[in-house]
């Protein structure tokens, strides 16, 4: 059973648009929520992460919004560029659970057209 549900499965935006990816979780023991970016043939790479005591975090053009009461979090890619075309995974983990083994969402394939 998937502990983190991610949507949409794919999305296409034009350059400069703002793709938004949403994730939901059930386990309230999760205390770390990272987003990973994966290019074809490569392993996932950490993009940005948030803890549940913060409602928003920005790093460059990437922003995480976190809603603890709704058990949802989302990734916004501001001013998207063709180089942002990749698959994005949300994940969740618990500090005390195997030093943070990750539960991943199913992924969102993002295509940014020129």
Partner 1 sequence: GAGVSQTPSNKVTEKGKYVELRCDPISGHTALYWYRQSLGQGPEFLIYFQGTGAADDSGLPNDRFFAVRPEGSVSTLKIQRTERGDSAVYLCASSSTPRTSGHNEQFFGPGTRLTVL
- Residues 49-88 binding partner 1 (CB under 8 A) are 49
The CA-atom distances, in angstroms, between 21 and each of 42, 43, 96, 100 are: 21, 20, 27, 22
One character per residue 85-104, x = contact with partner 1 (rule: CB under 8 A): ----x-x-x-x-xxxxxxxx
Q: How many residues bind partner 1 (CB under 8 A)?
A: 28
Q: How far is the CB of 21 from partner 1 (least distance, A)?
A: 12
- Asked if 45 is part of the footprint of partner 1 (rule: CB under 8 A), the reply reads yes
Task: Choose, by CB under 8 A, the member of 43, 69, 70, 83 that binds partner 1.
Answer: 43
Among 12-20, 43-51, 56-64, 78-86, the segment contacting partner 1 (CB under 8 A): 43-51
CB count in 10 Å sphere of residue 27: 14
What residues from 4 to 23 belong to the interface with partner 1 (CB under 8 A)? 4, 6
**The CA-based dihedral angle spanning residues 56, 107, 86, 111, taken in that order and rounded to the nearest 10 degrees:** -90
Give the residues lining the site for partner 1 (CB under 8 A): 4, 6, 31-32, 34, 36, 41-46, 49, 89, 91, 93, 95, 97-107
């Amino acid at each position: 059973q998937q502990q983190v549900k991610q949507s949409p499965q794919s999305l296409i935006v034009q350059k400069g648009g703002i793709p938004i990816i949403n994730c939901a979780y059930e386990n309230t023991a999760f205390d770390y929520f990272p987003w990973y970016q994966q290019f074809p043939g490569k392993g996932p790479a950490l993009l940005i992460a948030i803890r549940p005591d913060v409602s928003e975090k920005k790093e460059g053009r990437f922003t995480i919004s976190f809603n603890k009461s709704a058990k949802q979090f989302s990734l916004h890619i501001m001013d998207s560029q063709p180089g942002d075309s990749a698959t994005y995974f949300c994940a969740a983990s618990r500090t005390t659970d195997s030093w943070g083994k990750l539960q991943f969402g199913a992924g969102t394939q993002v295509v940014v057209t020129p």
